[in-house]
Amino acid sequence: MHHLLVLPILIPLIAAGAALLAWRQRRMQRWLGLAGAAGLLVVAVLLLISVVNDGILALQIGDWPAPFGITLAADLFSAVMVTVTGLMGAVVMVYSLVSMDPARESFGYYPLLLILLMGVSGAFLTGDLFNLYVWFEVLLIASFVLLVLGGERAQLAGAIKYFTLNLIASALFLSAVGILYSVAGTLNLADLAVQLPRLGQSGLITVLAMLFLVAFGIKAAIFPLFFWLPDSYHTPPLPVTTIFAALLTKVGVYALIRTFTLLFTQDIAYTHTLLLVLAGLTMVTGVLGAVAQMEMRRLLSFHIISQIGYLLLGLGLYTPLALAATLVFMVHVIITKSALFLVSGIVHRLQGTYHLKQLGGLYQSHLGVALLFLLPALSLAGLPPLSGFWAKFALVRAGLEAGQYAITAVGLGVSILTLFSMTKIWTEAFWKPRTVQEPIHVLQGRERLLYFLPALTLVGLTVLLGMLAEPIFTLATAAAQQLIDPSAYIQTVLGGAL
């Protein structure tokens, strides 16, 4: 019995419940939020260590044998994702302490954030497709409320698109789950991986794969289903935007990777080629959208889409190296993109706007902030020796080895455009002399610490990931092996039931 698997779900749940009970005490809620996120991070790290040492873990809830009961399972990929979830939860929680306004805090911001973290952890750990649907709904409901908390007009307008699109995706997901159950008679992921190849109806299974692709694709914001994202993500306060950007689309990508490595591998020539095409279009449209923007948060939101394209590219190539590169890229992009959002929040606090035209002069007045922005920006564009370089290098190499020259060229071209849009922020916000001479807010003492500590942690991590490229790739290669050859996963989950 590996009870460690339950804790990443239980700890945020208990903390959220306690925070709800302390509804009127804002200070208490803050401490509970911090404790819940820190607890999640600690447990996630323990889980990762345990998976690295002992191999894949599985837990049958209620002791029902595998295909009948609810299964929690963690391979290396899941464990890494849960660890990143804990990290982002803790970082954003600290950042929220200082940047979230009291009105939103009083209306349940901390419990909601904890429930969002619980939903994300649950989605990463579940070994059952219907449970994946349930966890999706848990995190969606929390994200809906977080998105509209405060009720500003822009928030509400963005929320309508986000809400409607995600509900349509959920309905499609549920329909696909139902049809899959009628075809295979099971919803346990490991059992499905055993049953689907035996069925031999590859036409029907490809149709199911396409249904899942659309359902997860809406959540992951791939081309052409992404337009809800840049309309909604920049509207809530910055900590909410950051946690959304870090985790929500990645859950969709996680689900895509899980299903398209474990279940839908019968017709790789069709499905994974389609993934490659979608990857190219996602990268290009995302980055072109970003180049056109003049508002920092919108620009960064479009970049989320373009980075999703890279993740899909690795999945579409479907080689061990490509999958390992995808995992490294996923961790890298979660950390650097969040760092960029957090720094743009600091810029907003200092100068009172996100609009590039009105910003300027920060390089002179705040050298530290400028450097904090520059490092993750260069990392995102893929300059050595930062984490983005190694992730992109491995992806490009995997693409060349697989003989997919066109898509690799697209990926490289998009990198240049990424660099271009990052230099645009750099020149507008940091380099050019300041035009408007209004009083600048000065960060001091505790406020200064709480604003800078999360951003510094993430920037430090992106540098560290670049330095430690070799051990990280060793881990990612092991994780990719587990994805390419799921026999160990199946064996662990089903045990003797085969």
Residue 477 beta carbon to another protein: minimum distance, rounded to whole angstroms: 37
Tokens of 445: 């003492």
The HSE-up count of residue 247 (CA atoms within 13 Å, CB side) is 34
Between residues 92 and 208, which has the closer beta carbon with respect to another protein? 208
Between residues 184 and 323, which has the closer beta carbon with respect to another protein? 184
Residue 354 beta carbon to another protein: minimum distance, rounded to whole angstroms: 8
Between residues 171 and 400, which has the closer beta carbon with respect to another protein? 171
Between residues 157 and 371, which has the closer beta carbon with respect to another protein? 157
Q: Which residues contact 139 (CB under 8 A, 6 or more apart)?
A: 115, 116, 118, 119, 120, 122, 123, 248, 251
Tokens of 459: 């920037």
Smallest Cα–Cα separation from 290: which of 414, 429, 455?
A: 414
* Cβ atoms of 85 and 44 closer than 8 Å: yes
Q: Which residues contact 58 (CB under 8 A, 6 or more apart)?
A: 2, 5, 66, 71, 72, 73, 74, 127, 492, 493, 495
Residues that bind another protein (CB under 8 A): 130, 133-134, 137, 141, 144-145, 148, 151, 153-154, 156-161, 163-164, 167-168, 171, 174-175, 177-179, 181-182, 187, 231-232, 235, 295, 354-355
Smallest Cα–Cα separation from 241: which of 100, 42, 396, 69?
A: 100
Longest CA span, the chain: 72
Residue 116 beta carbon to another protein: minimum distance, rounded to whole angstroms: 15
Residue 331 beta carbon to another protein: minimum distance, rounded to whole angstroms: 31
Q: What is the DSSP letter of 439?
A: P
Between residues 45 and 145, which has the closer beta carbon with respect to another protein? 145
Residue 193 beta carbon to another protein: minimum distance, rounded to whole angstroms: 19
3 state SS of 355: strand
Between residues 142 and 324, which has the closer beta carbon with respect to another protein? 142
Beta bridge partners of 295: 355
Query: Which residue is listed with tokens 């564009």?
Result: 381
Smallest Cα–Cα separation from 489: which of 99, 160, 66, 12?
A: 66
Residue 156 beta carbon to another protein: minimum distance, rounded to whole angstroms: 5
Q: CA 447 to CA 355: how far, in whole Å?
A: 23
Residue 199 beta carbon to another protein: minimum distance, rounded to whole angstroms: 15
Between residues 182 and 437, which has the closer beta carbon with respect to another protein? 182
Between residues 161 and 424, which has the closer beta carbon with respect to another protein? 161
Residue 7 beta carbon to another protein: minimum distance, rounded to whole angstroms: 24
